[in-house]
Amino acid sequence: MTATLAPVGPPQRPRSGPVRRTVFVLGVGMILAGVGFLLFCAWQYYGTNIIAKQKQADVKQSIASNWDNGIDGKDIGLLRVKRFGSDYEQPIVKGFDDKALASGVGWDPKSALPGEIGNFAIAAHRVTHGEPFAKFPKLKKGDEVVVETRRHIYTYRLRNSGTSITVDFSVGWPLQRVPAPDAAGERPTKSVITMLTCSELFHTRNRNVVIGDLVSDQDKKTGKTTTIG
């Protein structure tokens, strides 16, 4: 008698249990989270720069147009720092909030205006959003910082380097009328500039601070330059 063999079908896959499904879902979730994080980083360090630089160009164009028409406008002026490059020029806009710092260099509205007696306080990003202060650590004592408004060109000379003063972001003396740790409440007697930015690229708690004194004031209408100090 010849035995008849039953047909052999394809091998059966083991059923996917709840643990197996959970591991799969977690794995996919981790992959998506990683991709999302990389995209976020790419946006922060590249995308925001592209958008901010276009915005800064628009603000500079608006400033030029207003000045051509004899109008000061809502923006403060233009910042030039030779240490940052011979072609460096950034718009200074009103405010220290995220919107202002994405448009250029921000000015503290509670501080003095350029050339006024008191503390003209400005801040900007080192990374992301156009990176206006990317080269801040390269600043040296004696460097000149130029602020141009519609009517004047003010030149300040720095007292310290870009890395010599580091403070916690909660420390308020750099924004005082007289920017010194022991000068709270003092009445200002001269014009100074204070510039602030993050002290580390990937950590935003600490701030680097430079302070400069007004050394000259050029009247753009008459061309006369007044030396100060």
Q: How far apart are CA 109 and CA 19, in angstroms?
A: 59
pLDDT of residue 53: 82
3-state secondary structure 44-77: HHHHHHHHHHHHHHHHHHHHHHHHHCCCCCCCCE
pLDDT of residue 214: 98
pLDDT of residue 42: 42
pLDDT of residue 127: 80
pLDDT of residue 23: 57
The residues assigned a catalytic role are: 125, 198
pLDDT of residue 200: 73
Task: With beta carbons less than 8 A apart as the criterion, state whether 181 and 110 touch.
Answer: no
pLDDT of residue 201: 63
**Which residue ranges in the chain fall short of pLDDT 50?**
1, 29, 32-44
Task: With beta carbons less than 8 A apart as the criterion, state whether 150 and 173 touch.
Answer: no
pLDDT of residue 90: 96
pLDDT of residue 40: 42
pLDDT of residue 115: 97
What does the block give as tokens for 204?
Answer: 């935003």
Considering the entire predicted model, what is its pTM? 0.79
Q: How far apart are CA 162 and CA 191, in angstroms?
A: 20
CATH of 42-227, one of 3.40.140.10, 3.30.530.20, 2.60.120.380, 2.40.260.10: 2.40.260.10
